[in-house]
């Protein structure tokens, strides 16, 4: 998407802006249509016009980006060192030859100026310039640094791909980076407030202009650098399902014995639910926030409390004395046995391809097979949804409970367990 795919001295058969989709700075005032073949441009205009309602005439005059930049905050006396990485491609008999434009570029050191106006420094033998603007905010400076392609395209002339800056990156180093000012929380909607609450301890250190921003995560509270990023990535850590204890109550074979050992299993389910409430209480008590995020915290606490109440209601249903409760107990026990059978077949008969002649005998003694186990969120989901599935008149019967969990975490099994109960 950005390149270079074939090394620093690669040769492309197509112009670089057609081979790669990101990381370009075009010459000044290059319209979108100038970078596309006529047929491709007509298709793009038609597509955008249909999907976005844009005027094709307006689309034809949209300009390609010729600059990219970063905004960040530094302490009042901190200087900023600016490094640039970019390349260009020249047409030759063999194709488009890549060349490093910054091999001899020395990082530019910017000092806080007395004049808050725009500062300009021409670089790369006049191909580009670095602009900076410093705004004083008490004992801090809000700094915006940009890289600009200075190449011009004559009026009514097709742009020259050899004047496109490719694989662009702008990096700024400083010992005084400070967290970027937060968005005005008074203007946030409820979802944005809750996101701000959840990520309140993960400060932002830079904002990109025409790109994303990245920064030094080796020193999460004191980064040494920030940079432009056209293709941001993030590695999501794995999720642990181990909460400690409650192994017996999550055992499918044990839950399938609900009718025979009702009182003891109900006690185990109550202890399981109580541990969830203890987690809620400790989490809320340990969440100290400023007044602007207090409403978001209280909303989340209310939703957690509602989920805990629904889990308790499911346990009450399984422990009731009415005919409806008796049917619920029987259905719950059968659902757990059905899921145990399904998990056994998945482990033993669906692991590899076999010919019909090699097909194993799927019959087995289900009373002796290895048991399976619910993950905590799966069992909690089942208990929470039992009352609303059992009673069509229940207030939560029309509520859609969506399990928000990574792929492979077990959402399907939880849904199938509820389906087995309902059937």
Residue 182: what pLDDT?
A: 76
Residue 310: what pLDDT?
A: 98
Residue 33: what pLDDT?
A: 62
Predicted TM-score (pTM) of the model is: 0.77
Cβ burial 402-420 (10 Å sphere, 16+ → b, else e): eeeeeeebbbebbbebbeb
| Distance, CA of 1 to CA of 101 (rounded, Å) | 20
Indicate the pairing of strand 80-92 with strand 108-110: antiparallel
| Distance, CA of 1 to CA of 143 (rounded, Å) | 29
Residue 112: what pLDDT?
A: 92
Residue of 346, 390, 372 whose CA lies nearest to 256 = 372
Q: Which residues pair with 120 in a beta bridge?
A: 131
* Helix 376-390, helix 262-285: angle, nearest 10: 110
Residue of 144, 2, 151, 209 whose CA lies nearest to 86 = 2
Residue 43: what pLDDT?
A: 57
Residue 59: what pLDDT?
A: 46
Residue of 66, 11, 10 whose CA lies nearest to 34 = 66
User: pLDDT digit of tens for each residue in the chain (423 aa)?
Assistant: 999 999 999 999 999 999 999 999 999 988 766 665 545 545 544 554 444 444 444 444 578 999 999 999 999 989 999 999 999 999 999 999 999 999 889 999 999 998 878 999 999 999 999 999 999 988 999 999 999 999 998 877 778 999 999 999 999 999 999 999 876 656 788 998 999 899 888 899 999 999 999 999 998 789 999 999 999 998 888 888 877 789 999 999 999 999 999 999 999 999 999 999 999 999 998 888 888 889 999 999 999 999 999 999 999 999 999 999 999 999 999 999 999 998 888 877 776 777 888 777 777 787 778 888 999 999 999 999 999 999 999 999 999 999 988 888 899 999 999 999 998
Tokens of 269: 């389910």
Tokens of 96: 């488009």
Start-to-end CA span in the chain (Å):
49
Chain-centroid distance of CA 269 in Å reads 34
For residue 82, the 8-state DSSP code is E
Q: How does DSSP assign 302-366, residue by residue?
A: HHHHHHHHHHHHHHHHHT--SHHHHHHHHHHHHHHHHHHHHHHHHHHHSSS---GGG-------T
Q: Which residues pair with 16 in a beta bridge?
A: none
| Distance, CA of 170 to CA of 395 (rounded, Å) | 56
| Distance, CA of 391 to CA of 409 (rounded, Å) | 29
Q: Which stretch of DSSP H or E encloses residue 196? A: helix 190-198
Task: State phi, psi for 118 to the nearest 5 degrees.
Answer: -75, 130
| Distance, CA of 275 to CA of 267 (rounded, Å) | 12
């Amino acid at each position: 998407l950005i390149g270079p795919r074939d090394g620093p001295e690669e040769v492309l058969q197509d112009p670089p802006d057609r081979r790669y989709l990101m990381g370009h700075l075009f010459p000044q005032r290059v319209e979108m249509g100038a970078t596309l073949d006529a047929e491709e441009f007509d298709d793009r205009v038609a597509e955008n016009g249909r999907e976005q309602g844009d005027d094709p005439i307006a689309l034809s005059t949209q300009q390609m980006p010729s600059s990219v930049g970063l905004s960040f905050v530094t302490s009042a006396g901190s200087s900023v060192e600016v490094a640039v990485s970019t390349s260009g491609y020249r047409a030759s008999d063999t194709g488009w030859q890549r060349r490093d434009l910054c091999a001899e570029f020395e990082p530019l050191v910017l000092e806080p100026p007395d004049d808050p106006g725009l500062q300009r420094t021409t670089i790369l033998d006049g191909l580009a310039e670095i602009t900076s603007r410093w705004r004083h905010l008490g004992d801090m400076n809000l700094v915006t640094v940009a890289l600009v392609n200075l190449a011009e395209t004559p009026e009514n002339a097709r742009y020259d791909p050899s004047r496109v800056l490719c694989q662009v990156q702008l990096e700024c180093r400083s010992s005084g980076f400070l967290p970027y000012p937060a968005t005005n929380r008074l203007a946030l909607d409820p979802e944005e407030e809750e996101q701000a609450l959840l990520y309140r301890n993960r400060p932002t250190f830079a904002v990109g202009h025409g790109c994303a921003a990245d920064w030094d995560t080796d020193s999460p509270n004191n980064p040494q650098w920030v940079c432009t990023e056209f293709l941001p990535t993030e590695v999501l850590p794995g999720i642990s399902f181990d909460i400690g204890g409650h192994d017996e109550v999550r055992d499918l074979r044990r839950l399938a014995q609900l009718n025979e050992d009702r009182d003891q299993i109900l006690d185990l389910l109550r202890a399981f639910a109580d541990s969830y409430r203890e987690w809620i209480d400790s989490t809320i008590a340990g969440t100290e926030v400023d007044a602007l995020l207090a409403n978001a915290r209280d909303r989340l606490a209310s939703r957690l409390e509602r989920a805990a109440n629904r889990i308790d209601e499911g346990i009450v249903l399984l422990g009731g004395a009415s005919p409806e409760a008796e049917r619920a107990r029987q259905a719950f026990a059968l659902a757990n046995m059905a899921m145990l059978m399904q998990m056994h077949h998945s482990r033993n008969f669906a692991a590899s391809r076999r010919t019909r002649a090699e097909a194993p005998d799927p019959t087995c003694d289900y009373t002796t097979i290895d048991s399976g186990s619910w993950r905590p969120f799966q069992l909690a989901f089942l208990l929470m949804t039992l009352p609303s599935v059992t009673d069509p008149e229940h207030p939560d019967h029309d509520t859609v409970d969506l399990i928000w969990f990574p792929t492979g975490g077990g959402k399907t099994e939880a849904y199938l367990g509820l389906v087995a109960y309902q059937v």
